[in-house]
Amino acid sequence: MKYCKTCVQPDTRPGIVIGEDGVCNACTNHKDRPNVNWGQRKLQFEEMLERFRGKGGDGFDCVIPVSGGKDSIYQVHKMKYEYGMNPLCVTYRTPLRTALGQKNLDALIAMNVMHIDISFPVSVEKKLLEKTLIEEGSAGIPTHMGMFAAALKTAMRHSIGLVIWGENSAQEYGGDMDDVLNPAMTRHWCLKYGCMREREPMSYVGGNISAEEMKPFDLPADSELEEAKVRAVFLGHYFAWDSSENLEIAKRYGFTSRTNGSVMGLYDYADLDCHLIPLHHFTKWYKFGIGRTFDNASVEIRNGRMSREEAIEKIRNHRDIAWKENVEALCDFIGWNTEKFRSCMRSFANKSLWKQSGDELVMENFITGSKVVDSNLYE
């Protein structure tokens, strides 16, 4: 495992490529950012809005996929209050939404928008979550598929031509230059950067999951979106994305952070909507040898708000563990016990990072200089 010498990302993280200069592609892309002509991008955005204003079905101008997080509140603020667009807000209702997630979603609804909360059949959610844990070692695949499918299909169903996503994570966490520069959010992007591990939704059909049950989770083909004249774009392509600025705007509308520190990584205002999202980040320990703090600290370093030494210190004192509350919520939902969850996670341990030592898995040569022991990653 090689770490970027500027940030703290290792080359085991998908999308991260470390160049001969020892710097990763995400850091290099970020350095190029000041060269983006944001004024021109803003104009392009405004021209695009005029093409869609007043054209959507049922009087809507655009669809905004929202979770109730700070970024979705910012998206609604931007579209409705800065640009006077009439959005239809769509939420994929995760079966394990937290109380704080609901509270923040209520704050978004209070922004005086039309909002739909789409639930998928619970029995399918359970089967699919279990299958994706076993086959892909991921706790976040059904929620990501559900979110993409719900938003895009709602736009098609209501003939609303514009869908406004938030940031392009290929930009923040590493990706091919073509994907970083593309304003459009496509099926290709979802599969590659949307936590779907480049696996087609319908490939989960089989065993106890039928094609009919899986269909709602499938994403429209790019050709279907084109035919329906639906275009999904990243707001982050047109405006420099700044999470702390988004947070300040979201707070004005009643967004609440966690009061007892972050659940994962450095931010007490992120990853808080759903019990599954912290566990989704947790699986990175086994696969890539990193916790959420690596992602957050790398962003902080690139924005000049943290030194690499401080980041390593944060990693040393990390909170990126599997909290009992979240593991129990997942286990209660799919009928597992916590030992089964741990053994499932361990089965995805990257053998080049983790070595068996008695009953333990141990990762030596960690960025902090000390080793990581698997059992210490659980509360």
Residues binding Zn ion (CB under 5 A) = 4, 6-7, 24, 27
Task: Name the amino acid, one letter, at 2.
Answer: K
* Residue nearer to Zn ion on the CB measure, 60 or 294: 294
* Residue nearer to Zn ion on the CB measure, 176 or 328: 176
Q: How far is the CB of 6 from Zn ion (least distance, A)?
A: 5
C-beta nearest to Zn ion: residue: 4
* Residue nearer to Zn ion on the CB measure, 2 or 157: 2
Q: How far is the CB of 19 from Zn ion (least distance, A)?
A: 10
Q: Give dist(CA 86, CA 103) in Å, integer.
A: 23
DSSP 260-294: S--SSSS-TTSS-SBTHHHHHHHTHHHHHS--HHH
Beta carbons of 350 and 288 less than 8 angstroms apart? yes
* Residue nearer to Zn ion on the CB measure, 24 or 209: 24
Task: Name the amino acid, one letter, at 304.
Answer: G
Beta carbons of 154 and 90 less than 8 angstroms apart? yes
Q: How far is the CB of 3 from Zn ion (least distance, A)?
A: 8
* Residue nearer to Zn ion on the CB measure, 27 or 377: 27
Q: How far is the CB of 21 from Zn ion (least distance, A)?
A: 11
* Residue nearer to Zn ion on the CB measure, 21 or 360: 21
Q: How far is the CB of 301 from Zn ion (least distance, A)?
A: 8
DSSP state of 120: P
CA-closest candidate to residue 272, choices 259, 254, 291, 289: 259
* Residue nearer to Zn ion on the CB measure, 6 or 98: 6
Burial class (CB in 10 A: 0-12, 13-18, 19+), 323: middle
- How would you label 223-257 residue by residue, b for 16+ Cβ within 10 Å and e otherwise? eebeebebbbbbbbbbbebebeebbebbeebebeb
Q: How far is the CB of 20 from Zn ion (least distance, A)?
A: 14
Q: How far is the CB of 101 from Zn ion (least distance, A)?
A: 31
Residue whose structure tokens are 């905004």: 64
Q: Which two tokens stand for residue 299?
A: 């962003």
What stretches of the chain show up as alpha helix (H) in DSSP?
25-31, 38-52, 70-76, 99-109, 122-136, 141-157, 169-173, 177-181, 187-193, 211-214, 222-227, 235-238, 243-252, 276-282, 284-288, 292-302, 308-316, 324-334, 338-346
Q: Phi and psi (nearest 5°) for 251?
A: -60, -35
Q: How far is the CB of 305 from Zn ion (least distance, A)?
A: 15
* Residue nearer to Zn ion on the CB measure, 4 or 155: 4
